[in-house]
Amino acid sequence: MATIMDSMTVKPLSDALGVEVSGVNAADLGEATFKELREIFHENLVVVVKDQDLSPAEQTEFAQRFGEIQYHISPEYLMDGQPEVMILSNEKEDGKFIGLPDGGSEWHSDHSYVDQPTGYTMLHAIKVPKDGGDTEWTNMVKAYETLSDEMKERLEGVIGIHSFNRLKNQRLTVPVRHMNDPDYYKRSPPDAFHPIARTHPHTGKKALYISPRFTIGIKDMDDTEAQPLLDKLFAHIKNRDFIYRHRWTEGDLLMWDNRTTLHLALLGVPEGQARRMHRTTVLGEIPF
């Protein structure tokens, strides 16, 4: 355990990635402490700041210190009066979900299906169920670094195709709640094209930038070659040595770097137990 600045305490979350930070108030961070935190974040990929009690406005202000807010393409679950915050929840009011109930149930990096994807995502745990609702992250820097030299060479300059549209993804099925909603897929933006080996703008490290949820193929490569290659890489990123599983505690403000991690919502919350998270996303750069 190391004490940085005056009161910020930092300890590792796992061998795979991540640190836990305590002793700070994210709504009131001095500039020097903020810069230190951002540095730690880039190096460790996931940071959970413990015991936070942020209003949606305070969470938005914290997120804006990292860059410009990115709004979700689906306006359905943005918070009234604070659209920078999206609600993730299994709670219902008048028979309708008040937030996105089942997001993230395949490995993905947020918004990788647009030209300028999310840099950072912050989730603030407001209500945590007794059972289920864990989230996993996989370290895509380690995933890249542990590839063979031949594979790294093979991926040099290779471009992945990312799509929001589940109908284009042979690895996925359509969720029941969207089956009778063709408009849901019409909202899909055009496919995006990103390097499979992506460079982090601050650390200079390379990471794999593909996901089973959004990467549907490889540019200028026939599917007979591209799909087996993707299958091989998707199997590789699920190595448990790269993965951290988070059991949430109320007050957690957890942020991850979407350039260097994928995440997975494990769901499994029993009926009658409430889960509510407030999510903010910060725009990243065009991947290179």
Give the residue among 251, 209, 215 at the shortest CA–CA distance from 231.
215
Q: From 32-40, 73-81, 107-115, 277-285, give the range in contact with Fe ion by CB under 5 A.
A: 107-115
DSSP string, 34-69: HHHHHHHHHHHSEEEE-S----HHHHHHHHHTSS-B
Chain residue whose CB lies nearest Fe ion: 104
Q: Which is nearer to Fe ion, 104 or 160 (CB)?
A: 104
User: Any contact of residue 117 with Fe ion (CB under 5 A)?
Assistant: no
Judged by beta carbon, residue 90 or residue 155, the one nearer Fe ion is 90
Q: Cβ closer to Fe ion: 24 or 262?
A: 262
Diameter over CA atoms, the chain: 56
Nearest approach in angstroms of CB 76 to Fe ion is: 15
- Asked if 109 and 258 touch (Cβ cutoff 8 Å), the reply is yes
Q: What are residue 26's phi and psi, to 5 degrees?
A: -65, -20
CB of 17 to Fe ion, least distance (A): 16
Task: Residue 198: count other Cβ atoms within 10 Å of its Cβ.
Answer: 24
Pairing of strands 19-22, 46-49: parallel
* 212 near Fe ion (CB under 5 A): no
Cα 3 from Cα 15, distance rounded (Å): 20
CB of 49 to Fe ion, least distance (A): 19
Binding-site residue total for Fe ion (CB under 5 A)?
2
Q: How far is the CB of 171 from Fe ion (least distance, A)?
A: 17
* Amino acid found at 145: E
**CB nearer Fe ion, residue 35 or residue 178:** 178
Shortest separation between residue 118's beta carbon and Fe ion, angstroms: 8
Binding mask 67-106 for Fe ion (x = CB under 5 A): -------------------------------------x--
As given in the structure block, the two tokens for residue 113 are 């299906």
DSSP 147-181: S-HHHHHHHTT-EEEE-S-GGG-TT----GGGTT-
Angle made by CA atoms 146, 285, 184, in degrees to the nearest 5: 95
- Residue 137 in tokens: 């992250």
User: In the bound complex, what is the minimum distance in angstroms from residue 77's beta carbon to Fe ion?
Assistant: 13
Instruction: Tell me if 110 contacts Fe ion by CB under 5 A.
Output: yes
Closest contact distance (angstroms) between CB of 72 and Fe ion is 10
Q: Which is nearer to Fe ion, 52 or 109 (CB)?
A: 109
Name which of 10 and 269 has its Cβ closer to Fe ion: 269
* Of 52 and 135, CB closest to Fe ion: 135
User: Which parts of this chain interact with Fe ion (CB under 5 A)?
Assistant: 104, 110
